[in-house]
Structure formats: C-alpha cells, structure tokens
Amino acid sequence: MNRLAGYLLSFALGCSAFGQGIPPNLSRTLGTTPPDVQFVDTQGRAFRLSDLRGKPLILSPIYARCPSACIVISRSVKKALQQLNLPDDSYTVLTFTFDPKEGRAEMADFQRKHQLNRPNWRVAYVPDDSALFALLDGLDFRFTYISEQVKDHPNLLVFLDKDGVIRHYEFGLEFTPQQLQRGLRIARGEYTLWERISDWIFPVGALGVLATGAWMMFGARRRSR
C-alpha cells in the first residue's frame, strides 16, 4: 500500500511539473454562459462578469502565489498582446485568482510585480467562495492541492464573446500572438472548421497522457511484485 501511495504521489507531482492538471470538458462548456458572479478588482471596485460584455473577453485564471506557471502565463499574454498591438477598446482581459484564500492584497501584489497595467486589463478576485466555485464549475476549471502552497491546475485562457458566451479555450504555458489572435477571432464569431475541431484535440491528448502514465505506473508495480 505504501508503494502504491508513492507511485500515485510521483504521478501527481509529474503531472504538476507537466503543468496541465485536468483539462476542462469542452462539450460541457462551449456555448454556455458562466455564472454572473461579482468580482472586486485591485482598486477595491466591485463589478460583475456581465459588466464586461460588449466586446470579447479573455479570462485568465491564476493564483497569485504561484511559483512558476501563472507568472509565465501572465507575462506571455502581456507580451503577445503588445506584439498584436490591437486597440484597447476591442477586447478585455480579466485575470482572477481561483484560490479562495487570496484576495485584494495578493492580487494587487501580483499585478504590481508583473505590471499588468493596460487600461483594458482587470485583475481581480471573487470575494464569495460559493460564487467563485460556481464560476470555476461553469468554466470546468479544476485544481488540486499538491501542498499548502503548490496547486496543480490547467494552464489555459478562456475566450468569451461579446454576449458573455464561452467560445474557445487556448492551452499552454507561453501563449503566442497567434494563439491570442485566434481566440479573439473565434470570440468574434470568425472561425474555420479546423478551429472548431482543434478545440477538442488538446483535452483528448492530455487525457491520453494521463491515462498512459497511470497505466505505466500500475504496470511497473505489478512487475515489481
């Protein structure tokens, strides 16, 4: 039993290092509208998700005390948007913490450290835990605690259209201008057949990697008996 626990812990840590967590079920989320929860930004201003309608919205779930992935994601999105040089009034970015233990102070520190200061970039948290988890469920964003400070979570961006409907996910760690341009185009309703199909490729592949890893570890355990 102890050896099995060791295999499972090693596998969990390996998945964390891979940095993708459990991918969302896109058949459950695409075409749906997330709950209209209330956020509070780093200036203390309350707003609802519906207040950001009228233009495409990029949702970036992170946690402020993340030691690696969330920093890389935020910096790469910032760099990619600078390279695209799109008008600020053509889209909005909302970076929010999925950690119910974090609030205004942690998010303000994250915003300051990484200079997320574009006028159309909101950095916020959800003060009500039940509302936060309802939002995460609506995005099918699931995270697990590896330790008190380290969390295994999907690395992704969610693109909503001007009416607040989920239209696209992009997966990865360092996001490129091409990925953001594609996501915003799809959020505007401008996508090809291939782009419709590609929404399903990464989650299926990630599940395949997880299943293969589990099979290899349990196979190794049987051979060691």
Cα–Cα separations (whole angstroms), residue 72 to 4, 135, 136, 184, 192: 33, 23, 21, 20, 29
Residue 119 domain-assigned (yes or no): yes
Structural domain span for residue 159 = 24-197
DSSP character string of 22-35: BPP-HHHHTT----
Q: What is the pLDDT of residues 74-100, one digit of tens each?
A: 999 999 999 999 999 999 999 999 999
Q: In the predicted model, is pLDDT for residue 32 greater than 60?
A: yes
Helix (H) or strand (E) holding 198: helix 193-198
What CATH code is carried by the domain that includes residue 63?
A: 3.40.30.10
Residue 139 domain-assigned (yes or no): yes
Q: What is the pLDDT of residues 105-152, one digit of tens each?
A: 999 999 999 999 999 999 999 999 999 999 999 999 999 887 776 678
The pair of three-digit structure tokens given for residue 95, joined into one six-digit string: 């970076």
Residue 22: predicted pLDDT: 84
Q: In the predicted model, is pLDDT for residue 4 greater than 50?
A: no
Residue 82 domain-assigned (yes or no): yes
Neighbours of 192 (CB within 10 A): 11
Buried b (16+ CB within 10 A) or exposed e, 72-88: bbbebbbebbeeeeeee
Q: Number of folded domains in the chain?
A: 1
DSSP state of 142: B
